[in-house]
Amino acid sequence: MSIRAHRVEEIKTSGESFNLWHDEKIIKWLEKKTFFFESLNEDLCGFAEVEVDDLKAMLSEIGGQISERQRKSIEDDIRIAAGQDSWYIRYYCF
């Protein structure tokens, strides 16, 4: 069976969780502990997924080293995933 390309009519986002160019501690953690970057292109754009358990582990390990805004955004992501009974968060990076 072949894979077909489909036109995207709408991508809906709900605010920035973190910045791939500036939030160095988060990016280093994701790079070391997850496969976050494997689905992004050479410009770090595209869709990437992170398991909720990985986000919880990240906050446990580096939560005290990141800004309150970053921590709150990731905590919100975890809460949203739990409310949707999802085990991951999908991020659209652009």
Question: Helix axis angle, 24-33 relative to 52-62, nearest 10°?
Answer: 130
pLDDT in tens, 73-88: 999 999 999 999 999 9
Distance of CA 23 to the CA centre of its chain: 12
pLDDT in tens, 20-51: 999 999 999 999 999 999 999 999 999 999 99
Confidence (pTM)? 0.87
